[in-house]
């Protein structure tokens, strides 16, 4: 099995915050792409009625996910939470103890690998 860590964050867009979400989305995406080489995927999905937003993020390993979470906390967390209401945060993979210390306060659900395969 791979060392990849990925997660899906399901959110609801707060009333009147769609334009702020669009700005935040562009800023976070550019920052992550430029500054976090361990970020493999960083994708946003918005429902056709603009009420829901899901993020799909994939990292090469737990240290890369830690880098992201630290920069998110420092640069974006406050704005993110003022724009989006987190409904569900599911983490897939085997996070290290250090990553768990960062994720646990967020109320995440951790799903560990249980079988399957990965093509490269």
Task: Give the pLDDT confidence score for residue 87 in this predicted structure.
Answer: 98
pLDDT (tens digit per residue) in 18-70 = 999 999 999 999 999 999 999 999 999 999 999 999 999 999 999 999 999 99
Taken in order of first residue, the domains within the chain and their CATH numbers are 5-111 (3.30.70.100)
Nearest-angstrom CA–CA distance, 58 and 40: 5
| Number of residues that make up the chain | 120
| Cβ proximity of 33 and 39 under 8 Å | yes
Place 117 in a pLDDT band, splitting at 50, 70 and 90: confident
Nearest-angstrom CA–CA distance, 12 and 55: 11
């Amino acid at each position: 099995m791979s060392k990849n860590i990925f997660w899906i964050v399901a959110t609801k867009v707060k009333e009147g915050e769609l334009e702020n979400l669009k700005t935040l989305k562009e800023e976070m995406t550019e920052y992550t792409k430029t500054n976090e080489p361990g970020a493999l995927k960083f994708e946003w999905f918005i429902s056709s009625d603009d009420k829901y937003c899901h993020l799909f993020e994939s990292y090469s390993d737990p240290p890369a996910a830690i880098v992201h979470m630290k920069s998110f906390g420092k640069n974006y967390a406050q704005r993110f939470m003022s724009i989006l209401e987190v409904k569900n945060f599911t983490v897939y993979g085997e996070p290290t103890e250090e990553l768990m210390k960062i994720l646990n306060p967020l109320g995440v659900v951790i799903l560990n690998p249980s079988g399957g395969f990965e093509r490269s």
